[in-house]
Chain A
Amino acid sequence: MRVLALVLHRLAWFVPTLLGLLAVTFVISHVIPADPVALVAGETATPAQVAALRHQLGFDRPLAVQFVDYVVRLARGDLGTSLYTTRPIADDLASRLPATIELTLVAMVVSVIVGIPLGVVSALWRNSPLDHALRVITVSGLAIASFWLGIMLQLLFAMRLGWTPLNGRLQGFPPRGVTGLFLADALLTWDGAAFATALAHLALPAATLAFPALATLVRFTRAGVLEVMQSNFVLYERAMGMPRSVIVWKYILRSALTSTVTQIGLLFGILLAGAVVTETVFDWPGMGTYAVNSIIRSDYNAVMGFTVWAGAIFLVVNLLVDVVHTVVDPRERVS
């Protein structure tokens, strides 16, 4: 019952935070610009056209009314119409969502599979040459500009060595399927060739996206394991003469990794943000590329639509992470 109450409590905070986010995007799109209509209308519009558009878009009403209208429209899933594609922005974004999810998920799997063991190893062999080498990697991961890393990887592996495709998601037709995630679709339809090309196209962008997350995860795991190693119960097991391997496998890892695993959800946030820039570098047909192309085309509606959409996805992911955290980690329930 306590868990249910906490989950409800988290849910209760979700709505005001979402409204707060909408207030921020409303201020950015409706209040900050000297003339938001002129932004939408473009530079070639005549004053008469701008005035007509202002009335048509409802910008001549009081701000409070506009905000309520804004929230109601968004609640119905209406993000406005793209000035460039002239399609609903929600549709544009939805059609690009699977590509972004596939890239983000693969990067997440890579960073977890590589990052957690490396973090454990560097904690267990603290101050060893391996630990120092890993420290260089983690420090680099947090300092490198991901768009630059992507370009350097392209330069080396795609342009010079020719091991991977330069950019894009696939050559030819996508595999038949339901999920929109090409790797999963290729697996479901037993299409080996499609799987191989999809994987080859994914390699560089996923590596680029995974690197900072991996660095964060190594640091986090290392710190977590070190903390457990110094805790009283481990000291007790040691004093009892337990063999090191038993202490490590049975006590340290189990205890340290529970808290690490609950942090993985937070990685999703870092990865989604990184996807905006990484997708641009690799022309990955996801939401990030859509947003950046919209910036270049001055498709103002689409940029704001993306912001709202990305922000909402974030809040939902954070909410899920919080709920899972509450359910999984007993310590959360006490505090």
Chain B
Amino acid sequence: MQPVIRVRGLSKRFGNGCDRCLSSTGPDQESNVCPHCGSVVACNDVSFDLYRNEALGIVGESGSGKSTLVRLLHFEWEASGGSVELHRSVAESVLGELFDADATYSRNLLGLSPFQKRQVRNSLMGIVYQNPFLGLRMQVSSGGNIAERLLGAGWRHIGAMRERSAELLERTEIPVERMDEPPKNFSGGMQQRVQIAKALSNNPLILFLDEVTTGLDLSVQARVLDLIRSIRSEFNLSLLVVSHDLGVINLLCQRTMVMKYGRVVEAGLTDQILQDPQHRYTQLLVASQL
């Protein structure tokens, strides 16, 4: 089996940069700010493969570049370098023009036009943010939030969109009779589940989960995690799970990458990362777990 998405050397630098940025930042220097030019290396040379029906975890402290990575992959921020490619089998039907003849992988997605990037995002990606205000329009009805996304993915029939919204809200345990209410009326856990419903609406291939359970109380957190676990196998999704909570990662992910100061310091099987951590920082992280 080949990976559905291939990421190589993904980097993001804020600031003008100089030739000493990369050598003077990172976990060994314990900083991601270049002392010579003041640029911030938020994420440097991140490479990984993501397969079908697989959850890859990304752990690290705040400021380690986890969320930056997600934002680059979701085309919210422009990357400074690197490549992101999709496998033909998953993307050809929606975006045939991305593939050169005979190529198994698409052209580098980071070089596409803003319109093409939106197309890729709308048809293949879903994202759930830690803060529901980023993923939802709080004043617009929950059904309307989902319809917005469906419109982006090319849906046009109002009845069909309502039906799809109802189906997804039911799946995420939001009472369907409340679909016309705006998310601002909902509790934090419900808002998170509306976000998940919205992210799933276009049948994405890849779902980015950015600290989705952080800040939720324990029982709500448990229900959100149960939901994520069941949708992963049901929809055959590839998940990229960003969290600083090793318990969440252990529950959801088979493989994990550990980030620190914008670099991946260690990657491996989740049970190996937790029981036989190699890097100094990972050992500290695991030893600090309650």
Do A and B interact with each other, yes or no? no
